[in-house]
Amino acid sequence: MDAPIEEFRYHADPAALEDVKVRLERTIFPDEVTAEPWRYGPPVNYMREFIRHWLEAYDGSAQEARLNAFRQFATQIGEHRIHFIHEEGRGPSPMPLVLTHGWPGSIVELLKIIPLLTDPAAHGGDAADAFTVIAPSIPGYGFSSRPARTGTSVFAVADIWTELMSRLGYSRFGLQGGDWGSWISATTALRHPERVIGLHLNYVSTRFRPALGAGDPPPTVEEQAYLDRAAKWMEAEGAYIAIQATKPLTLAYALTDSPVGLAAWYVEKFRSWSDCRSEPDEILTKDEMITDIMVHWLTGTAHSAMRFYSESREHPLHLAAGERITPPCGIVRLPRELPMPPRSWAERAFNVVHWSSLPRGGHFAAWEVPDLLAEDIRDFFRPLRATR
């Protein structure tokens, strides 16, 4: 018998909020050398202002109310307590769509786009394009439980998502994601293709490599240039992957004990991966960033979220020679995204039927340009609605 699906609301523990305040007030800031701002990480002056805003201007109650305005639930699937948003679409025949977040994000990064997808007519779109959105928290992130042992890989989560959709009564559904959301969505389509209407991705990882068999053509000049570019990016920016994929517990002592340490670790990514020119505030407000940080801090999930990298390293998503992800796939490219492959490389692994580009945006597409991403998602799924 399936575990019950229970309504969920989050209310922060006042004692935990007071503890954060005390820790922020007692922050010991590092020294720094004179250098180009952000070259070695978030500048001290920036972080001082970030913490001042956190202490003096951030309204946690308002952010909590914003989150709790969504219909949220939790249910037990195997050893995991899974939290998810479940918003019904407003239209003649809403399509079920699983949205999956990434790191260092959480469901917070999806809050802007969900209303655009569930009620397109209220935002200048067509009600016929409505989706019923299911947005789960990855195990170990935020309000889902923290795995107690190894093995919660992208493959395990793909199976959990599929079971969740069965429990909700959806036999077939669409998938969408960026960052880890793209990995989990792709793995779900690989393992359960008969359940998947279509797969929409706004990121294809630099570490995702289709196997090249004896009958496959070697990389083209364009594909090799991408592989070289990805390798250079890994050398310059991939240190976080190396430590989170090998020694996440070591880093977790700092990030679990210091809210400023956690903030700096995340803020650097918000800045480096978003479509900003100088500071992340140009794209994401301090309140938005702090809310995401607080979700990880107050739930004690900084370590378990990082561990998804070690799970990926130990259980990598590698396709065998000749193996492909068969459901229809749409891929959208953003100008400030991490290195993305050319279409020919993606087509070695995916059944690409939709390939597009947006005029602005970076790695956090649903957060940065929710209107543009929502429109692309609608465009991709529109011809697939008849195949449900």
Q: Enumerate the active-site residues.
A: 179, 309, 363
User: Strand 325-333 relative to strand 173-177: parallel, antiparallel, unpaired?
Assistant: unpaired
Q: Answer for the pair 152, 140: CB distance below 8 angstroms, yes or no.
A: yes
Q: What are the angstrom distances between the C-alpha of 193 and each of 144, 159, 328? A: 25, 12, 10
Cβ burial of 27 (10 Å; 0-12, 13-18, 19+) is middle
Q: Answer for the pair 175, 136: CB distance below 8 angstroms, yes or no.
A: no
Helices marked H in the chain:
14-25, 44-56, 60-68, 113-118, 154-167, 180-191, 221-237, 239-246, 248-257, 259-273, 286-298, 302-314, 343-346, 365-368, 370-381
CA angle, 111 then 60 then 271, to 5°:
60
Nearest to 153 by CA among 169, 165, 140: 140
Alpha-carbon dihedral sign for residues 309, 313, 314, 315: positive
